Structure 1
Amino acid sequence: MPAGEYEFVVVANRLPVDMTVEDDGSLSWERSPGGLVTALAPIMQKNGGAWVGWSGKAGLEHDPFDAEGIHVTPVTLSAQEIADYYEGFSNGTLWPLYHDVIVPPEFHRNWWNAYVAVNRRFAAAAAEAVAPGGTVWVHDYQLQLVPSVLRLLRPDVKIGFFNHIPFPPVEIFAQLPWRRQVVDGLLGADLVGFQRPGDASNFLRAVRRLTDLQVRGPQVTMPGHWSRPDRQVRAQAFPISIDSAAFDELARTPDVIARAKQIRKELGSPEILLLGVDRLDYTKGIRHRLKAFGELLEDGQLRVPEATLVQVASPSRERVEQYQLLRDEVEVTVGRINGDFGTLGRAAVHYMHHSYPATEMAALYLAADVMLVTSLRDGMNLVAKEYVAARSDLGGALVLSEFTGAADELGQALQINPHDIAGTKATIMRAITMDAREGRRRMRSMRRRVMQHDVQRWADDFLGYLAMSVPSERESV
């Protein structure tokens, strides 16, 4: 396959821009606000980078174009492919499987066939874009077959893969009928990155169990073919982060500080403001959080209007049945708690099922006395890091599930097992009553970690390790 002209190519399910079709049929775009874009944009602009991804709209075809120094290469997906590859295999099979089977995954051959076809299309687009000897960084569970396909098409390039969600124990992963194909797909990369050391270990155990390849420490030896020598694949943890300095700066602005005070006033100036911020997803433990809060009200340990919970649950995958059921259950639970414990003009739970801009989120973090992160399984959970980055005042307390990647780094958070409702209740009360000096000490320690290990350092660490790898075809020259 002929080589492209871009030294650094990112392959992700979504493009770094949001594309809009205007009434006259023309296309406009604006840059996406995500952390991944923030981290990689400077590298791509400096080195002449291309980004391969889906526009987010069915059937939208568009030629590659340049946006803020990034060459954008759209991959077109039909409505049926979105249903089978994205909503189906990615989010109906892999997502629940990789999150400890919190809900049962579904295994459908037509979903798998669509996943294979779409991954091949992404790989082909990357192969056309990357320059000889260039670097391709593939992202996340939707594209686990891309590394091996790309390796066949362009053995001269360096290939990295980063899995943003957990990788399950082999006993769970083995349920997947196409388990070997997924492992082989990931082994097309030179470096496979994960959020936690346990995820990297799970992947290496899967390689040992499902293949006859040699595994020593973090490395897997891929045997050479013909003139190509053996190749080493490294699996390692690279915990992702946020643009800490930017979020810290945002939370210090007078407008955000004023808005935080206004939020508390609008809520009736409660003595205790608890906050939950999540996508509406069954992995986030929202039901467990509501149960613990409801029982604290029932026990009389907390009372309305002195205490209130603000729950932001941004919409997520609303066409998937499990998410529709979760929304119904959460809304019924919120209604019951408010019916039982709310007072006239003062709700026990303020529930918002929509997204907010970064300025409003920073104000909410600054207003909250206690941040509740109760995920049942989470690759990282960047909300926990955003809360810490926002608290330059050293106020607030973070209650954090031990089943998040963030728990490995934020050891001074008050950690919980969200399945233990009694333990969660006790920890929430500890956060509320914690001595101010202890609270400041804990927050100072967490802020030191978050501010030093930001998203740019994450990208630099991963790409630094990837740069040390040598593609097999280059070795054979």
Structure 2
Amino acid sequence: MTGKEQTGDRSVGGEYDLVVVANRLPVDFSVRSDGGVDWQRSPGGLVTALEPVMQQADGAWVGWSGAPDLAHEPFDADEMRLVPVTLSQAEIERYYEGFSNDTLWPLYHDVVATPTYHRQWWDAYRRVNQRFADAAAAQAAEGAVVWVHDYQLQLVPKMLRDQRPDLRIGFFDHIPFPPVELFQQLPWRRQIIEGLLGADLLGFQRGGDASNFIRAVRRLTDYTTRGPIVTMTDEDGGPGRHVRAAAFPISIDSTRFDELARTPEVQARAKEIRADLGDPEVVMLGVDRLDYTKGIRHRIKAYGELLQDGRLDVESSTLVQVASPSRENVGAYQELREHVEVLVGHINGEFGELGHSAIHYLHHSYPPEEMAALYLAADVMLVTSLRDGMNLVAKEYVAARSDEQGVLLLSEFTGAADELAPGPVLVNPHDIDGLKDAIVQAAKMDPKEQRRRMRRLRRKVMNDDVAKWSDSFLGVLTAMPRRTSHV
């Protein structure tokens, strides 16, 4: 979907009752020679979740364009006001690739990789967060709701609160929040906590993440906590406003995936995929960003050992691994790609036969139609994350399986495991022997057992969709009292 810049007589700022603040805008755009804008909607669950709410509220979305030094005035697209935040190449390297993805990401994912701490990165993170906060404050009407998203912008709530105490501010953390024993490694731990406490409502994927945050508040601040509530202090040192931390598990546009997988074109493509793979008895599928948190190496190692043990063979089974490119300028990701490609090459070289590859490794991203066909073609979906806030791929697989067949093998370290059990086959991906046993169990599961499990999974995923998630969060946020009375 493409479009041209829309023009209107609305003033630039200060009139939007709902403002979303996220690292990225929901569109990719380019500036024409005449100064106008061409834009194309970018895919993503957050866009799908918030677009109807934004259009209904006539809201504004603050975010980075995704390209360095691309500056433009706010413009309208898809009935939303889009407010670009400009980042220089140096800021992208320090705020985004550096502090966000080489400091916070590994720290928040249980230090699967070692975090790097640089003061210059922190300085850039602070400056960029202030820029986002300033842009949001300029767009928000008196008493507006501002919803800030994810780990790149954890300082924004307090920065907004300092400028605009009239606002109702929510924050949603899309990734795990770490145990305080890990979090306190961060040299700027207190500043992050204070930044988040600028919000009225803090949303997390799992109850455990919300509890981790509350424990960090207790350990690192003097604020009073009672259950999920943190009581801030007012200017006189007395009790002030309340901050609530709670779980709001995110989901997908379940109906869209369900309808997509029912189309004749997608179903025909699923059969074509199986034929292209040599019509094996069992097709296993992994779909991940190429990220060290996803457990891709553990999955491939387990599969290779099953071939070596003779419990699986390449004539009757195959593994398709889709690994979308990710953060290719970060060293840890470059190393991961090399390691995975060497491992795949070794297993294919040792066990592959003419017409039968052990592993089909695809380092690409695919459109939703192709993903739906892959989900339909797969007998077993392998989700072996070492740590994952939610894992929406698991939910997409379930939504695509209206035939009530297929088996979801799911890491217990995903947010999805909290929501979907006991439908999936749960695994500890660090336990390679246990993972191997679970893969064999899934591959040989009786169709009646598959149907029983998939029906349970589908009831959950089809009911608790992404619209319900956004409505739930915004409903709680808007119902919260603006101020507490002094005691």
State TM-score, norm by structure 2: 0.95
Can you list the C-alpha shifts for 1:195-219, whole angstroms capped at 9, x where unaligned?
A: 0000000000000000011000000
The answer on whether the counterparts of 2:240 and 2:485 sit within 8 Å (CA) in structure 1 is no
Deviation at 1:8, TM superposition (A): 0.1
In structure 1, the residue matched to 2:284 is 274
* 2:346 paired with 1:344: no
Deviation at 1:175, TM superposition (A): 0.2
Q: 451, 460, 474: which one pairs with 2:471?
A: 460
Q: Secondary structure at the match of 1:106?
A: coil
In structure 2, the residue matched to 1:39 is 49
Q: Secondary structure at the match of 1:230?
A: strand
In structure 1, the residue matched to 2:148 is 138
* 2:184 paired with 1:174: yes
Deviation at 1:228, TM superposition (A): 9.5
Deviation at 1:105, TM superposition (A): 0.1
Identity %: 68
In structure 1, the residue matched to 2:208 is 198
* 2:170 paired with 1:160: yes
| Distance (whole Å) between structure 2 residues aligned to residue 152 and residue 64 of structure 1 | 24
Deviation at 1:226, TM superposition (A): 5.2
In structure 2, the residue matched to 1:417 is 428
| Distance (whole Å) between structure 1 residues aligned to residue 126 and residue 287 of structure 2 | 34
Q: Secondary structure at the match of 1:221?
A: strand
CA 1:306/1:185 → structure 2, altered by over 3 Å: closer, same or farther? same
The answer on whether the counterparts of 1:20 and 1:29 sit within 8 Å (CA) in structure 2 is yes
* 2:366 paired with 1:356: yes
CA 1:166/1:129 → structure 2, altered by over 3 Å: closer, same or farther? same
| Distance (whole Å) between structure 2 residues aligned to residue 475 and residue 435 of structure 1 | 60
Q: 10, 13, 38: which one pairs with 1:28?
A: 38
Q: 449, 452, 455: which one pairs with 1:444?
A: 455
Structure 1 window deviating more from structure 2 (202-211 vs 345-354): it is: 345-354
| Distance (whole Å) between structure 2 residues aligned to residue 21 and residue 316 of structure 1 | 26
Q: Secondary structure at the match of 2:398?
A: helix
Equivalences for 1:30-109 in 2 at 5 Å? 30-109=40-119
| Distance (whole Å) between structure 1 residues aligned to residue 409 and residue 319 of structure 2 | 14
| Distance (whole Å) between structure 1 residues aligned to residue 361 and residue 290 of structure 2 | 11
Deviation at 1:471, TM superposition (A): 3.0
Deviation at 1:267, TM superposition (A): 0.7
* 2:140 paired with 1:116: no
* 2:392 paired with 1:382: yes
Q: 427, 448, 473: which one pairs with 2:438?
A: 427
In structure 1, the residue matched to 2:323 is 313
CA 1:227/1:98 → structure 2, altered by over 3 Å: closer, same or farther? closer
Deviation at 1:391, TM superposition (A): 0.3
Deviation at 1:33, TM superposition (A): 1.9
Structure 1 window deviating more from structure 2 (198-207 vs 2-11): it is: 2-11
| Distance (whole Å) between structure 1 residues aligned to residue 356 and residue 33 of structure 2 | 44
The answer on whether the counterparts of 2:45 and 2:252 sit within 8 Å (CA) in structure 1 is yes
Deviation at 1:345, TM superposition (A): 2.7
| Distance (whole Å) between structure 2 residues aligned to residue 66 and residue 226 of structure 1 | 43
Which amino acid letter does the alignment assign opposite residue 41 of structure 1?
A: E
The answer on whether the counterparts of 2:171 and 2:199 sit within 8 Å (CA) in structure 1 is yes
Structure 1 window deviating more from structure 2 (279-288 vs 34-43): it is: 34-43
CA 1:254/1:25 → structure 2, altered by over 3 Å: closer, same or farther? same
Q: 314, 319, 322: which one pairs with 2:332?
A: 322
Q: 359, 372, 375: which one pairs with 1:365?
A: 375
| Distance (whole Å) between structure 1 residues aligned to residue 354 and residue 246 of structure 2 | 54
The answer on whether the counterparts of 1:50 and 1:73 sit within 8 Å (CA) in structure 2 is yes
Deviation at 1:425, TM superposition (A): 0.4
| Distance (whole Å) between structure 2 residues aligned to residue 302 and residue 74 of structure 1 | 52
| Distance (whole Å) between structure 1 residues aligned to residue 23 and residue 354 of structure 2 | 46
Can you list the C-alpha shifts for 1:241-295, whole angstroms capped at 9, x where unaligned?
A: 0000111000000000000000000111111100000000000000000000000
Q: Secondary structure at the match of 2:143?
A: strand
CA 1:404/1:296 → structure 2, altered by over 3 Å: closer, same or farther? same
The answer on whether the counterparts of 1:275 and 1:309 sit within 8 Å (CA) in structure 2 is yes
| Distance (whole Å) between structure 1 residues aligned to residue 458 and residue 42 of structure 2 | 26
Q: 9, 12, 15: which one pairs with 1:5?
A: 15
Which amino acid letter does the alignment assign opposite residue 466 of structure 2?
A: V
Can you list the C-alpha shifts for 1:357-391, whole angstroms capped at 9, x where unaligned?
A: 00000000000000000000000000000000000
| Distance (whole Å) between structure 2 residues aligned to residue 456 and residue 225 of structure 1 | 38
Which amino acid letter does the alignment assign opposite residue 157 of structure 1?
A: L
In structure 2, the residue matched to 1:212 is 222
Q: Secondary structure at the match of 2:56?
A: helix
The answer on whether the counterparts of 1:251 and 1:257 sit within 8 Å (CA) in structure 2 is yes
* 2:416 paired with 1:406: yes
Which amino acid letter does the alignment assign opposite residue 391 of structure 1?
A: R
The answer on whether the counterparts of 1:278 and 1:312 sit within 8 Å (CA) in structure 2 is yes
Which amino acid letter does the alignment assign opposite residue 216 of structure 1?
A: R
Which amino acid letter does the alignment assign opposite residue 451 of structure 1?
A: M
Q: 303, 321, 325: which one pairs with 1:293?
A: 303
Q: Secondary structure at the match of 1:250?
A: helix
The answer on whether the counterparts of 1:155 and 1:471 sit within 8 Å (CA) in structure 2 is no
* 2:256 paired with 1:246: yes
Structure 2: gaps (5+ residues):
1-11
Q: Secondary structure at the match of 2:275?
A: helix
Deviation at 1:92, TM superposition (A): 0.4
| Distance (whole Å) between structure 1 residues aligned to residue 54 and residue 32 of structure 2 | 28
Deviation at 1:25, TM superposition (A): 7.6
RMSD: 1.6
Deviation at 1:131, TM superposition (A): 0.3
Which amino acid letter does the alignment assign opposite residue 424 of structure 2?
A: A
Deviation at 1:22, TM superposition (A): 5.9
The answer on whether the counterparts of 1:158 and 1:470 sit within 8 Å (CA) in structure 2 is no
The answer on whether the counterparts of 2:158 and 2:197 sit within 8 Å (CA) in structure 1 is yes
| Distance (whole Å) between structure 1 residues aligned to residue 458 and residue 275 of structure 2 | 27
State TM-score, norm by structure 1: 0.97
Can you list the C-alpha shifts for 1:144-165, whole angstroms capped at 9, x where unaligned?
A: 0000000000000100000000
